Amino acid sequence: MSIEIRTYGDSVLRRVADPLTKIDAEAKRIAEKMVEAMIRANGIGLAAPQIGVSKRIIVLDLNGEFHILLNPEIIETSQESEEIVEGCLSIPGVNAEVTRKLRTHLRGITLDEKPVDIEGEGLMARAIQHEIDHLNGVLFVDYLSPARRRSLLKEYHRKQKEKDE
């Protein structure tokens, strides 16, 4: 049985995810399913709410580096930001320019309970911010103007309807 990525409109995507209180077999199983779903979808990052689990877990696969992070938090970001086209596995088929910080410092815990610090720049920093947003119930469309958001979501719904026909 494969895990499906939850899409726009699913209430789990708007919930603030709960911290993990223990790293057990269940946490490891969730992380494994997340990795499987991310790879299957050709993604570079995935947060647990995207597979319907409201826990603070993210996976990243960037620049030849693979990370599974539990209870991640952004410690610091740069003042500089950049606007780049961004998409999301939970809102497939559409994308928009989103402004995010250029550099990010993330702290979390690995599956083997070791603390980890990651300093990301460019795409890595963007992916970190995007996945942390998911843990806080925020989607990339929330950064758009109301008119741009309506237009993008209308396009998303049209594409989903076409796909279902």
| pLDDT tens digits along 45-55 | 999 999 999 99
| Mean pLDDT calculated for residue range 102-130 | 95
CATH of 11-164, one of 3.40.50.2000, 3.90.45.10, 3.40.50.11540, 3.40.50.2300: 3.90.45.10
Average pLDDT across the chain, whole number? 94
Could you say which of 36, 76, 97, 131 is catalytic?
131
- pTM beyond 0.85: the answer is yes
Closest CA to 62 of 107, 128, 140: 128
Q: Is 119 a catalytic residue?
A: no
| Mean pLDDT calculated for residue range 129-154 | 97
pLDDT at residue 1, rounded to an integer: 47
Report the percent of the chain where pLDDT is more than 70: 99
Distance, CA of 99 to CA of 140 (rounded, Å): 10
User: What's the gap between Cα 39 and its chain centre?
Assistant: 13
pLDDT at residue 26, rounded to an integer: 94
